[in-house]
Chain A
Amino acid sequence: MIVLSEKMEVLVHCGVHGRVAVQLAEIAEEKKVKLHIASGGRQVSCNSILELLGLALVQGTRISVLVRGDRAEDALQAVRKLLMGETAS
Chain B
Amino acid sequence: MEPDNSTDSRASTCEPQTLFGIGASPGIVVARIFVLKKHTHRTVWKRLDSGQVEEEINRFLRAAEQAESELRELRRTFAGDLADALSIIDSHILILKDQMILERTVDIIREKEINVEWALDQALGRIKKRFDTIADPYIRQRYVDVKNVVDRVFGLLSGHEEDVLTGINEKVIVVGHDFSPEDTLRMQTENVLGFITEEGGMTSHTAIVARSLNIPAVVGLGDVTRDCVSGDTIILDGFFGRVYLHPTPDQLCQYREYDRQHRNFSEELALYIHLASETLDGHRVRLAGNIEMRDEVQSVLRYGAEGIGLFRSEFDYFNCDQIPDEDMLTSTYSTLVSTLAPMPVTIRTLDVGGDKFSRYLPDSGIRPGVERNPALGLRSIRYSLREPALFRTQLRALLRASVHGRLRILLPMISSLSELQHVKGILLQVKAELTRKQIPFDTNVELGIMIEVPSAVIMADSLAKAVDFFSIGTNDLIQYSLAIDRGNQYVAHMYEPFHPAVLRMIKQTVDAGHGQGIEVSLCGEMAGEVVSAAVLFGLGLDELSMRPSAIPHVRRILRRSDYGQLVELSHAVLSCNDGGEVRNFLTRYLPSTYPEEFGCR
The chain A residues found within 8 Å of chain B, CB to CB, are: 9, 11, 14-19, 21-22, 25, 47-51, 53-54, 56-60, 62, 80, 84-88
Please give, as numbers and ranges, the residues of chain A lying within 8 Å of B319 by CB-CB distance: 86-88
- A42 to B: closest C-beta gap in Å: 10
The reply to whether B138 and A15 contact each other, CB–CB distance below 8 Å, is: yes
- Known pairs A17-B138, A49-B94. 5 more at Cβ < 8 A? A18-B87, A25-B94, A50-B127, A51-B100, A56-B135
- Check if B95 sits within 8 Å of A14, measured CB to CB: no
CB distance from A52 to the nearest CB of B (A): 9
Distance (whole angstroms) from the CB of B18 to the closest CB of chain A:
34
- Listed stretches B139-147, B338-346, B442-450, B588-596; interface member: B139-147
Given contacts A49-B94, A54-B131, A87-B319, contact A17 B357 (CB under 8 A): no
Q: Which residues of A contact B101 (CB under 8 A)?
A: 50
Q: Does B212 contact A (CB under 8 A)?
A: no
- In the bound complex, what is the Cα–Cα distance between A80 and B359 (angstroms)? 9
- Contact B98–A48 (Cβ < 8 Å): yes
Size of interface on B: residues with Cβ below 8 Å to A: 36
Complex Cα distance, B358 from A80, in Å, reads 11
Closest residue of B by beta carbon distance from A54 = B130
Instruction: Establish whether residues B94 and A17, one from each chain, have CB atoms under 8 Å apart when the complex forms.
Output: no
**What residues of B have a CB within 8 angstroms of the CB of A88 in the complex?**
293, 315, 319
**What residues of chain B lie closer than 8 Å to A87, measured between beta carbons?**
319
A11 in contact with B368 given A49-B95, A54-B131, A88-B315 (CB within 8 Å): yes
A21 to B318, CA, bound (A): 21
Contact: A60 with B146, CB < 8 Å? no
> Whole-angstrom distance between the alpha carbons of A17 and B205 in the complex?
12
Q: What are the residues of chain A within 8 A of B140 when measuring CB–CB?
A: 56
Whether A54 lies near B134 (C-beta < 8 A) is yes
Contacts of A80 in B (CB 8 A): 359
Q: Is the beta-carbon distance between A15 and B127 smaller than 8 angstroms?
A: no
Q: Are A17 and B368 interface neighbours, CB within 8 A?
A: no
| B139 x A22 contact (CB < 8 A) | no
Assess the B358–A60 pair: CB atoms within 8 A. no
Whether, in the assembled complex, B90 has its beta carbon less than 8 Å from a beta carbon of chain A, the answer is yes
Collect the chain A residues with CB atoms within 8 Å of residue B133's CB.
56
Partner of B136, one of A15, A22, A62: A15
- Per a CB cutoff under 8 Å, which of B98, B138, B318, B359 touches A49? B98
CB of A11, distance to nearest CB on chain B (Å): 6
Among A49, A56, A59, chain B packs the most CB atoms within 10 A around the CB of A49
Inside 8 A of B138's CB, which chain A residues have their CB?
Answer: 14-15, 17
- What number of A-B contacts does a CB cutoff of 8 Å give? 82
Contact A56:B139 (CB < 8 A) given known A48-B99, A86-B319: yes
Task: Mark interface residues in B81-106 (1 if CB within 8 Å of A CB, else 0).
Answer: 00000011011001100111100000
Residues of chain B within 8 A (CB-CB) of A15 are 136, 138-139
Task: Decide yes or no whether B159 CB sits under 8 A from chain A.
Answer: no
A interface majority secondary structure: loop
0/1 string, B121-135, CB within 8 A of A gives 1: 000000100110111
Shortest 4 CB-CB contacts between residues of A and residues of B: A56-B134, A50-B100, A18-B91, A49-B94
Instruction: Give the one of A9, A51, A53, A84 with max B CB within 10 A.
Output: A53
Complex A-B: 10 CB contacts under 8 Å: A9-B367, A15-B138, A19-B91, A22-B91, A25-B94, A49-B95, A49-B98, A53-B131, A54-B130, A86-B360
| Contacting residues of chain B (358-386) with chain A, CB-CB under 8 angstroms | 358-360, 367-369
Q: Chain B 174-211, CB within 8 Å of chain A: the 1/0 string?
A: 00000000000000000000000000000001000000
A59–B318 CA distance with the chains assembled, in angstroms: 17
Residue of A with least CB distance to B99: A48
B318 — which chain A residues lie within 8 A by C-beta? 85-86
Q: Which residues of chain A have C-beta atoms less than 8 A from B98's C-beta?
A: 48-51
Which residues 290-324 in B have Cβ within 8 Å of A in the complex? 293, 315, 318-319
Residues of A within 8 A of B359 (CB): 80, 84, 86
Note all chain A residues with C-beta closer than 8 A to B358.
84, 86
State whether B142 touches A18 (Cβ < 8 A). yes
With A50-B100, A56-B134 already in contact, the answer to whether A18 and B368 are too (CB < 8 A) is no
B126 CB, min distance to chain A CBs, angstroms: 10
Q: Once the chains are docked, how many angstroms separate the CA of A51 from the CA of B100?
A: 7
**Chain A neighbourhood of B145, CB < 8 A:** 18
Give the Cβ gap from B324 to chain A, nearest Cβ, in Å.
Answer: 13
In the complex, chain A residues whose CB is within 8 Å of the CB of B146: 50
Complex alpha-carbon distance, A70 and B135, angstroms: 37
Give the residues in chain B near A58, CB-CB below 8 Å. Answer: 135-136, 139
- Docked pose: A59 CA to B357 CA in angstroms: 13
Whole-angstrom distance between the alpha carbons of A85 and B139 in the complex? Answer: 17
Which chain A residues border B205 with CB–CB below 8 Å?
Answer: 18
Question: In the complex, which residues of chain A have a beta carbon less than 8 angstroms from the beta carbon of B369?
Answer: 9, 60, 62
In B331-359, which residues have CB < 8 Å from any A CB?
355, 357-359
Kindly supply a per-residue 1/0 record for chain B positions 55-98, scoring 1 wherever the CB is within 8 Å of any chain A CB and 0 otherwise.
00000000000000000000000000000000110110011001
Instruction: Compute how far the CA of A18 lies from the CA of B206 in the bound complex, rounded to whole angstroms.
Output: 14
User: CA separation between A47 and B135, bound complex, in Å?
Assistant: 23
- B95 and A50 contact, CB distance less than 8 A: yes
CA distance A57 to B136 in the complex (A): 9
B22 to chain A: closest CB distance in Å?
A: 19
Please determine whether A19 and B99 come into contact, CB atoms closer than 8 angstroms: no
Closest to A84 in B: B359
Q: Please, which residue of chain A has its CB at the minimum distance from the CB of B102? A: A48
Cβ-defined contact, A19 with B368, below 8 A: no
Cross-chain contact A21 with B91 (CB below 8 angstroms): yes
Q: In the assembled complex, which residues on chain A have CB atoms less than 8 Å from the CB atom of B355?
A: 11, 59
Q: With the chains together, A46 CA to B587 CA distance in Å?
A: 50
A19, A47, A51, A62: which contacts B87 (Cβ < 8 A)?
Answer: A19
